[in-house]
Chain A
Amino acid sequence: MKQRKNRALAALCLLVVCIHLVTVLTGSQYYLTQLTMAAYYGLVIIGLGTLMGYAGQISIGHAGFFAIGGYLSAALTTRNLASFQGDWPVRWLDALKMLKTTQDLSGDQLLTVAPWAACLCAVAAAALIALIIGIPVLKLKGHYLAMATLGFGTIIYRILLASPYFGEADGISEVPGFTLLPALGGLGPIMISGDADLRVLNYYLAWGVLIAGMVLLLNLIGARVGRALRSLHSSEDAAEACGIDTARFKLRVFVLSAVYAAIGGVLLTHFNGGIGPSEASVMKSVRYVALVAVGGMTHLWGTLLMGVGLTFLSLRGVFGTFDDAVFGMILILVMLFAPEGILSLRLKLVVQRIVQGVRS
């Protein structure tokens, strides 16, 4: 079990490197940009996959958490606080070294929150909101939970679309890169940014984050908490009788998946240099659910591969203007023909063929 997990992880790392090499050999390095973006969406999808597939709780509001992360980080790193310099919140932030002073194009002083601090605030806010929403909402089951989370997603979308602070329909642009390590010696800075020079670095950063996120979730699922989540998925009564605080476990995994979505949102926003309200739309939430379903609800590997693969194709514009329609269609087809995910289908076919081969 453990060996299989490590082998699969090693294979994924190898695949990431191979894809890079292939793009270098074929001179198509521009693919790396979409692969980077797909990796950040992948974080949302594996987090949601854990919530849906293992704990059995649906959420059609995860684009909301993605957007909370992205938007807050974007707003904090771009909105000028210079005029509030004397106020206590700004003084506090300054004392904590969380502010950054730069100059804008016309030479005026620009006082913003540093990206690392903005990132922490954004993820913490998403976690807090997930906690507050989760306590009442997770008492609901099935369709009712789906409706409630859908409502949550809609509210976030409308708030973002209506508030000038978040740029209304335009969203927020000119979000600075996220420096992880400043330039040292002959090496350039390590930062999350859409700069073409940093494309390869960002490709590896994004996949590093995604693989690390995957390792953490695989560890979780394989141990005591994972078993508790799977048990409450199957029978809450029996899980309670085994001493599992089902309400608390559901809430925690909901918050965890919201944190994954928010981290994806934050990093993608800094990579893209901006975020728009379409990231919070209900269609995005539905797409995440569809991607989890395609990958196989209880198959985190399938979720990762199918999720990232299809997102990449979508970002490359392969589906053209039919993008949303394609994802709707995929959802229908998967539910009809492969409710346990595309990978399970192929696996079954392969096994059947081998069995037939042995018999004949």
Chain B
Amino acid sequence: MKGNGDHDCGAASGAPGEALLELKSVHKRFGGLHAVNEVSFKVAPGSIKAVIGPNGAGKTTLFNLIAGNLPVSAGTIHFQGREIQGKKPHQIAHLGMSRTFQNIKLFHGMTALECVMVGRHVRSRSGFFAGMFSLPSTWKEERAIREASMELLEMMEIAEFADVEATSLAFGQQRAVEMARALAAEPRLLLLDEPAAGLNIYETAEVARLIGRIRDMGITVLLVEHDMSLVMDISDEIVVLSFGQKLAEDIPLNIQKNAEVIKIYLGADDEISA
């Protein structure tokens, strides 16, 4: 029961110009249902990419495949040049990928600050032994974790709630805590699962601004989203899914004009004149 063997965090990156994340013919079957069907796309480093599609299109399933929560039925997923399909979520997190959840999953009985401190897990190493004997390395590390987490809360503008129980915060603030927790790992790629779900237009605009800032920090963002205003404003590229299949992949402007996308995703054509 000594230390721990947490491997080093994904500092290594692929060759320059290479995609940060690459899906090749990714397939997921649930019985007879093809939830994700032969989906391929790339995410370039430093970009914001969005996956959109109607309900049941397989967006969240796709996210769960990338983050390792579900095994793929076929196909490969490369992250920083390494194959990651078949790896466990915690291993993928160590490689430099963080995520948020559609239905916010904060930790009960923890303050907002503590939740974010959990996010520092991959960037710290004190194990059972060091913790129990409270070695100097542990409390030095604890102080560093606390400071880094506090900075993130400040960046999210929720520092005043640091000592409030996270699950008792307002919805938008909980989202911010979750995002701070994901950022605490200093990921290369951030997966955001419907970051604007349940938020009003002001809060959505706030989230859009935040995502822009996250990209400016050099973190690549892949998001799944329903809110078209958010997606169209901030994304560099959009992938459209329908019934598990990739329908289109293009810049927002072209997606808005794509007749098939309009028909399948956006519904009646007279509503879409923007």
Contacts and interface: CB of A to CB of B under 8 A. Distances in A.
Nearest to A226: B131
A13 to B, nearest CB: 18
Contacts of A255: 1
A241 B67 contact: yes
Nearest to B115: A231
- The residue in B1, B107, B109, B142 that gathers the most chain A C-beta atoms within 10 A of its C-beta is B107
A252 B98 contact: no
A230 interface: yes
Given A216-B133, A241-B89, A244-B90, A223 B107 contact: no
Interface string A222-238: 01111110110111011
A220 interface: yes
Interface in B105-124: 105-110, 114-115, 117-119, 121-122, 124
A259 B132 CA distance: 14
A241 B139 CA distance: 24
A231 B107 contact: yes
Interface residues of B, number: 42
Contacts of B114: 227
Given A237-B101, A243-B94, A245-B90, A219 B134 contact: yes
A237 B69 CA distance: 8
A224 B90 contact: no
A239 interface: yes
Contacts of A224: 121, 124, 126, 131, 138, 141-142, 145
Interface string A99-134: 000000000000000000000000000000000000
Contacts of A298: 109
A241 B121 CA distance: 10
A119 to B, nearest CB: 17
A238 B106 CA distance: 7
Q: Is the interface of B mostly helix, strand, loop or mixed?
A: helix
Contact of A228 (B118, B139, B142): B118
A231 B131 contact: no
A256 interface: yes
A46 to B, nearest CB: 13
Given A217-B132, A235-B105, A235-B107, A243 B142 contact: no
A244 B128 contact: no
B231 interface: no
Interface string B126-156: 1110111110001101100100000000000
B133 A219 contact: yes
Given A225-B128, A256-B128, A243 B185 contact: yes
A5 to B, nearest CB: 10
Contacts of A246: 90
B175 interface: no
Contact of B118 (A216, A217, A231, A259): A231
Given A223-B142, A240-B88, A241-B93, A234 B124 contact: no
Contacts of B122: 242-243
A308 B208 CA distance: 55
B246 interface: no
A241 B127 contact: no
A219 B107 contact: no
A223 B134 contact: yes
B105 to A, nearest CB: 4
B28 interface: no
Contacts of A227: 110, 114, 117-118, 121
Given A219-B133, A224-B145, A228-B121, A242 B105 contact: no
B108 A242 contact: no
A113 to B, nearest CB: 24
Nearest to B141: A224
A350 to B, nearest CB: 20
A217 B31 CA distance: 46
Contacts of A241: 67, 89-90, 93, 98-99, 101, 105, 182
Contacts of B182: 241
Interface string A180-222: 0000000000000000000000000000000000001101100
B213 to A, nearest CB: 21
A216 B129 CA distance: 9
Given A226-B131, A237-B101, A242 B110 contact: no
B49 interface: no
Given A220-B128, A244-B90, A252 B107 contact: no
Given A216-B132, A225-B128, A234 B108 contact: yes
Contacts of B6: 243
A243 B109 contact: no
Contacts of A220: 128, 131-132
A242 B67 contact: no
B181 interface: yes
A252 B67 contact: no
- The residue in A240, A242, A244, A245 that gathers the most chain B C-beta atoms within 10 A of its C-beta is A242
B90 A252 contact: no
B134 A230 contact: no
Contacts of B107: 230-231, 233-235, 238-239
A251 to B, nearest CB: 10
Closest 4 CB pairs of A and B: A243-B93, A243-B122, A238-B105, A240-B89
16 contacts: A219-B131, A225-B128, A226-B131, A227-B118, A231-B107, A231-B115, A234-B108, A235-B105, A237-B105, A238-B101, A239-B90, A243-B94, A243-B122, A244-B121, A256-B1, A259-B1
Given A220-B128, A225-B127, A242-B90, 7 more contacts: A224-B145, A227-B110, A231-B118, A233-B107, A237-B101, A239-B118, A259-B1
